[in-house]
Structure 1
Amino acid sequence: MMRRMHVASAMVGALALLTLAGCTTDPSVTAPSDDAAATEEAEVEWFDQALFDKQDEERGVVPEGPDGQPYLQYINAEMVDTSEFASEGAKKGCFANASISNPWRQTGWITMNEQLKVLQESGAISELETRDAQDSDDTQIADIDYFINEGNCDFFVISPNSTAAMTPAVERACDTGKPVIVFDRGVQTDCPVTFIHPIGGFAWGIDSANFLIDNLEEGDKVVALRILPGVDVLEQRWAAAEKLFGEAKIDAVDYFTGADPVEIKKIISDELAKGDVKGIWMDAGDGAVAAIEAFEDAGVDYPVMTGEDELSFLRKWKDTGLTGLGTVYSNFQWRTPLLAAQKIFAGEEVPKEWVLPQSPVTSDDLDEYLAANEGMPDGHYAKFGGEDLPGYPTVWQERQIP
């Protein structure tokens, strides 16, 4: 398939933004430098048919686990015995976090801390000492080594900044003999007790591309707005969509935007000046409103559009009446690591790879999610899954970042 890719000016410096809003990444490679970004991105083959097929199949699997608690559900799990860790008493956790540098991670961090309060009250966890790497591999490696050398951790939780760079540090944590729980982004080792994540980037790409294909005609133009190159879950989103667009003979052209609203408006305006744009595809929701406003500024019909479950997009979708889909990378996963720790110390089985459900917001349930999140700020994520936690809704409304 011939690939058409345009690197917008906002790409310069964008690789410093590895965790933008909605970019809940699972990178398998360290991102390239700014100078090498375009060259290296073009050299990597991101499409993986086996993983595409796996995630496509998982989209249709009814998850196991308790009803109404998606953060405890799992898909096609291989369960592992944790009886060796069974012990009584409240446990201290040590959390090496990549960052809280965007609304998606901030929403999850608030949710995790509310879940922590519940587990502290029940006597399962005493405290969660946390170090924030601020999107730096070197800082996170030092954070993990600090926890190891400190020697006061009963368990480790790690949300890696990047995959390859963080693998040795995760293995050192495993070598302590204490349970290690990895979530959101993976590492290149199977030593953690469990790796927790939603279905993945190919599932996102399949959901979003199929929606556009179903609502467009052969030959229609779609503009794909991408945050940055070289991050595998984002690349997988586009690799899946690009494959499906090609098969459906949709005319898709993609741009890297750095999630800059000004750049997004410029891209859309330039494309509209060339002719009709029937669809907008996004690999994350950040900047979705700017894309819609570009159509309004041009005085043309709204596109068929896929965004994310960030409320800014959902509200604009509702206000405009456009044909839309809110793709999801499940934010409620931030609860699961602490609940996994509780299970591990109780000696209960947990999934080795804990694949959480991941399903988009559709026109059928848009009103439901908007009503449920009334009063939440635009940067909040509708399917955050924390409605039963003690601080709901105030701490999310006020963005009380711990």
Structure 2
Amino acid sequence: MRRMHVAFAMVGVVSLFGLAGCTTDPGVSAPGETETTEAEGEWFDQALFDKQYDERGVTPGGPADEPYLQHINAEMVDTSEFASDGAKKGCFANASLSNPWRQTGWITMNEQLKELQASGAISELETRDAQDSDDTQIADIDYFIAEGNCDFFVISPNSTAAMTPAVQRACDTGKPVVLFDRGVQTDCPVTFIHPIGGFAWGIDTSEFLVDNLNKGDKVVALRIAPGVDVLEHRWAAAEKIFGDAGITAVDYFSGGDPTEIKKIISDELAKGDVHGVWMDAGDGAVAAIEAFEDAGLDYPVMTGEDEMSFLRKWKSTGLTGLAPVYSNFQWRTPLIAASMIFAGEEVPKEWVLPQNPIPADELDGYLADNEGMPDGHYAKFGGENLPGFPKIWQERRIP
């Protein structure tokens, strides 16, 4: 799915504007390599770590039953300069649809689009899929700029540094830019939408493992890919907390490939005991669990994600687990934000959405709420009040 035209007939800012997905930057280890580079230590930021640590405990503002409209410690910005009547055309430069998390969000975004088209806020959303390529996404953004038919831009960057100049060029058109999911190194977008962030994920998951393991125990950390800020922040936080607690952690890039994940775990089990498994994304979590089953060993303490395949395996095995969340409902928020901007309403400059893990005592509730959903679905997708629920997600209709 390289190019998509989505049109229906229905009438915080921080110094590194940064924050999941799969990509690589030049000079960083490729997926499958067993060692990381020293440069990755540069991703740890104590101030951002502390900020996200505290945000985990903040009660968000906004509607209690609409988490995709909630915000944490928001600095609101005036958008009156963009106020205008009529339905607007959006141009969406998407990093990819290459994993279940992004596919789930894309389905939800399109259902939200239908609602905004019906209300007359948005006319269409022209979308280009970069297929996990920086070069392609840069060309996509430049295409939209040259085309000159975009009333607003929505961008989910493929990677952080490489995409910064292209995002800046979109801002320089004077049209509103809405950034979400991953960040770049400019604060020019009108709003940047994301859950609390990678450090929060890393804190939640590593503290859970530390609380359920003993000093000297071994954890295998499975990482998707280098060079994406939210993923690097997850590991930077976990690595610090494991080190402080005396937990031995070895990390590998798996590319999210179940075969590679099973091989990594099997190889580590052949060396000795593995007491915990930490993941920076839940893709392939079931494969990691199956490696222990294949070896006839007890299940590890494990963190996965709110993907249904992991939640169901967690329930069936009874392992000690936690499902961290990188709130998938954020895919609704960019289009709502665009409609607010053209209505001249204030929006958060850094729109920080809640990001609450699923603990064991909430597992049964999320399994019940998502009964009938495919394994690649994400429990906290936030589309329950959209007209297509539940059929569109059950049938996995990817536009």
Same fold by TM-score, threshold 0.5 exceeded?
Answer: yes
Letter in 2 for 1:116: L
In structure 2, the CA distance between the partners of 1:257 and 1:25, relative to structure 1 (3 Å rule), is closer
Within 5 Å, give how 1:262-273 maps onto structure 2: 262-273=259-270
Partner Cα distance (1:270, 1:151) in 2: 53
* Segment of structure 1 superposing worse, 227-236 or 353-362: 227-236
Q: CA deviation at 1:261?
A: 2.0
Partner Cα distance (2:145, 2:354) in 1: 32
- Residue matched to 2:20: 24
- Contact preservation (8 Å) 1:30, 1:163: no
- Residue matched to 1:41: 37
- Residue matched to 2:145: 148
Deviation track 1:310-329 (CA, whole Å, cap 9, x = no partner) reads 11100000000111000111
Partner Cα distance (2:260, 2:174) in 1: 48
* Segment of structure 1 superposing worse, 275-284 or 362-371: 275-284
Partner Cα distance (2:182, 2:264) in 1: 30
Deviation track 1:319-353 (CA, whole Å, cap 9, x = no partner) reads 00111000111111100000001111111100001
- Contact preservation (8 Å) 2:192, 2:349: yes
Note if 1:375 corresponds to 2:372: yes
- Contact preservation (8 Å) 1:26, 1:184: no
Letter in 1 for 2:101: W
Partner Cα distance (2:224, 2:306) in 1: 16
Partner SS state of residue 355, structure 2: coil
- Residue matched to 2:68: 71
Partner Cα distance (2:162, 2:117) in 1: 33
Deviation track 1:341-398 (CA, whole Å, cap 9, x = no partner) reads 1111111100001111111111111111111111111111110111111111111111
Q: CA deviation at 1:104?
A: 0.8
Partner Cα distance (1:283, 1:301) in 2: 22
Letter in 1 for 2:208: F
Pick one of 87, 93, 100 that aligns with 2:84.
Answer: 87
Deviation track 1:51-91 (CA, whole Å, cap 9, x = no partner) reads 11111011111111111111111111111000111111111
**Unmatched 5+ stretches in structure 2:** 1-18
Note if 1:224 corresponds to 2:193: no
- Contact preservation (8 Å) 2:93, 2:154: yes
Pick one of 33, 48, 54 that aligns with 2:51.
Answer: 54
* Segment of structure 1 superposing worse, 217-226 or 321-330: 217-226
Partner Cα distance (2:332, 2:261) in 1: 33
TM-score (norm 1): 0.90
- Residue matched to 2:201: 204
- Residue matched to 2:320: 323
In structure 2, the CA distance between the partners of 1:310 and 1:224, relative to structure 1 (3 Å rule), is same
**Unmatched 5+ stretches in structure 1:** 1-22
- Contact preservation (8 Å) 1:31, 1:231: no
Q: CA deviation at 1:163?
A: 2.1
Pick one of 153, 156, 165 that aligns with 1:159.
Answer: 156
- Residue matched to 1:290: 287
Q: CA deviation at 1:214?
A: 1.0
Partner Cα distance (2:224, 2:164) in 1: 25
Partner Cα distance (1:259, 1:133) in 2: 18
Provide the alpha-carbon RMSD of the alignment: 2.0
Deviation track 1:187-221 (CA, whole Å, cap 9, x = no partner) reads 21111100111111110010001111111122222
Partner Cα distance (2:368, 2:162) in 1: 42
Partner Cα distance (1:309, 1:364) in 2: 14
Note if 1:103 corresponds to 2:108: no
Q: What percent identity do the matched residue pairs reach?
A: 80
